[in-house]
Amino acid sequence: MDTPDFKNNGTFHGYEIFPKLMPFDTFETTVGPLFHKFENNTWGFRFVVENKHLNPLGKLHGGMIMTFVDHSLSGAAFHSVGNKPCITISLHIDFVASAKAGDIVDGIAEVTRKTGSLVFVAGELHVAGRVIATASGVWRMVEFG
């Protein structure tokens, strides 16, 4: 499957490509494009399953599910603390179902708790309204410099 034309694809209404934060291509750049939006006080994340995301059985690779969950929940943590960098401390994922090339994977993430330096986030991945993964994790705010 070729990369879709996102600018002309109505399924991406309201979503923006995740911004490039570093002067070099990061891991998210390699597996993307990944999208996000903030609506009704909730962060949403989205990507289209391409051939590069498939395992040898032709299904969405568990590693891509894990990458997208980490990206999505980390994004929610980052935004919840005023766009301060956060690193993943713990991440738990339950794989519920699969996806195939061409599917649109939507992620939702909710901050469930914040302490002085930790952010607790839970989320789900969906394809066409069905859950394909659930997750929860902890992120720590860090200072770079």
What's the CA gap between 102 and 97, in Å, rounded?
16
Q: Do the domain assignments include residue 50?
A: yes
Rounded to two decimals, what is the model's pTM?
0.84
**Domain of 99?**
29-141
Q: How does pLDDT run across 61-86, given as a tens digit for each residue?
A: 999 999 999 999 998 999 899 888 89
Position 21 scores a pLDDT of 67
**CATH number where 104 lies:** 3.10.129.10
Instruction: Name the amino acid, one letter, at 66.
Output: M
Q: Do the domain assignments include residue 1?
A: no
Q: Do the domain assignments include residue 24?
A: no
Position 1 scores a pLDDT of 35
Q: What's the total number of domains in the chain? A: 1
Give the pLDDT band (50/70/90) at residue 120.
very high
Q: What is the mean pLDDT of residues 96-113?
A: 95
Q: Do the domain assignments include residue 4?
A: no
Tell me which residue of 83, 67, 144 sits closest to 119, measured CA to CA.
83
Q: Do the domain assignments include residue 13?
A: no
Position 2 scores a pLDDT of 40
Q: Do the domain assignments include residue 19?
A: no
Tell me which residue of 107, 116, 131 sits closest to 34, measured CA to CA.
107
What's the CA gap between 57 and 119, in Å, rounded?
36
